[in-house]
Amino acid sequence: MNTLLSPPWTFPFCPDAPNWSIDWEGIQTSFEWIDNLKGCQQDPIYHAEGDVFIHTKTICEASISSQNWRQLSLQERSLLFAAALLHDAAKPAFTEIEAGGRISAKGHARQGARMVREILSQFDPPVEFSIRKTVCAIVQFGSLPIWLLDKPNPQQSVIKVSQVVRCDFLALLAEPDVRGRHCTDKQQLIEKIELFGEFCQENNCWDSPRQFSSEQSRFIYFRKENGNPDCEAFDGTRCEVILMSGLPGISIHVGCPKSV
């Protein structure tokens, strides 16, 4: 589960009441990587607002203007503001001009999650592992609300990602991402995000991980392409194996099938 820590973590420069203003001068002074976003062009069909830096500013401004965002706890706001600020950090390294002049940045979300992990690990004091993990997951899967219907198995996609990060967090990043764009299909994208929310709620994985009747049922569900998340799988294990990892004090309990 995605358990938030106490005392709450606060991301530097995350706006707070009553002004809800972003210190862009302070952000640019504190983070060297943000200069790489300037001048990094985007496909005007999807991002006519300008380069990646301009888009980053618009998504952050759209995030903090949302009442849904403002109603969150301090730590939840910090998680999402950090994700909004960092969500396109890898675009400069992955941006390519294709034949015909189209601009793409394929793979930037996955690599962006790695960059976010590195950036947050350099904070002083260090950012807790669970916080870094959550922000990285929001960045990596932040486009799922838009592309859900293109997935081979949308149900398994949302249930699977819910095991890693809250799906409502993904929607809270995707919506300002769209509202901060200049594109002709903005309304269609907003409708896709709304559908994503309804779909996640129907599958009981909106603001918490989808629960299964047992660990065996969970394992079997993700092993099948068209499994039923409500099905209680037969537990064919006959013993327990304790696998020690390289980290001190960490162990994984694994059930052994009878065939082993």
Same domain, 228 and 121: no
Q: Do 124 and 222 fall into the same domain? A: no
Q: Are residues 184 and 243 in the same domain?
A: no
Residue at which a domain ends, from 175, 202, 229: 202
69 vs 76: CA distance, rounded Å: 8
Q: Is residue 7 part of a domain?
A: no
Query: Residue 133: which CATH number?
Result: 1.10.3210
Is residue 260's pLDDT more than 50?
no
Say yes or no: 147 and 28 in one domain. yes
- For residue 58, the enclosing domain spans 24-202
Q: Is residue 17 part of a domain?
A: no
Do the domain assignments include residue 11?
Answer: no
- 142 shares its domain with 245: no
Let me know: does 202 contact 221? Beta carbons within 8 Å. Answer: no
Check whether residue 34 and residue 138 sit in a common domain.
yes
Comparing 4 with 118, the larger pLDDT belongs to 118
Residue 1: pLDDT band with limits 50, 70, 90: very low
Mean local confidence (pLDDT), 238-250: 72
| Residue 252: pLDDT over 60 | no
The confidence score (pLDDT) of residue 83 equals 97
The residue that leads in pLDDT, 149 or 250, is 149
Helix axis angle for 154-162 and 215-223, nearest 10°, is 140
The mean pLDDT value for 211-229 works out to 92
Residue 165 lies in a domain: yes
Task: Flag whether 101 is in a domain.
Answer: yes
If asked whether residues 68 and 193 sit together in one domain, one would say yes
User: 109-164 pLDDT, tens per residue?
Assistant: 888 899 999 999 988 888 999 999 999 999 999 999 999 999 999 999 999 999 99
pLDDT of residue 52: 94
What's the average model confidence in pLDDT over 183-212?
A: 96
Say if residue 195 is in the same domain as residue 77: yes
How do residues 73-116 score in pLDDT, each as one tens digit?
Answer: 999 999 999 999 999 999 998 888 887 788 888 888 888 899 99
Q: Return the residue matching tokens 């916080």.
A: 131
Same domain for 184 and 111? yes
**Rounded mean pLDDT, 251-258:** 48
pLDDT of the residue at 43? 87
Does residue 72 fall inside a structural domain? yes
Residue 248 confidence (pLDDT): 61
- Based on the fold, state whether residues 232 and 195 are members of the same structural domain: no
| Same-domain status, 180 and 74 | yes
Cis bond before residue 229 (omega within 30° of 0) = no
Number of structural domains (the chain) is: 2
Taking the CA of residue 134 as centre, how many other CA atoms within 13 Å lie in the half-sphere pointing to its CB?
A: 26
pLDDT (0 to 100) of residue 204: 98
Q: Is residue 231 part of a domain?
A: yes
Pick from 165, 180, 202: which residue ends a domain?
A: 202
Q: Is residue 9 part of a domain?
A: no
Which of 173, 202, 231 delimits the end of a domain?
A: 202
pLDDT digits (tens, 9 = 90+) for 18-67: 999 999 999 999 999 999 999 999 988 889 999 999 999 999 999 999 99
Residues 235 and 147 in one domain: no
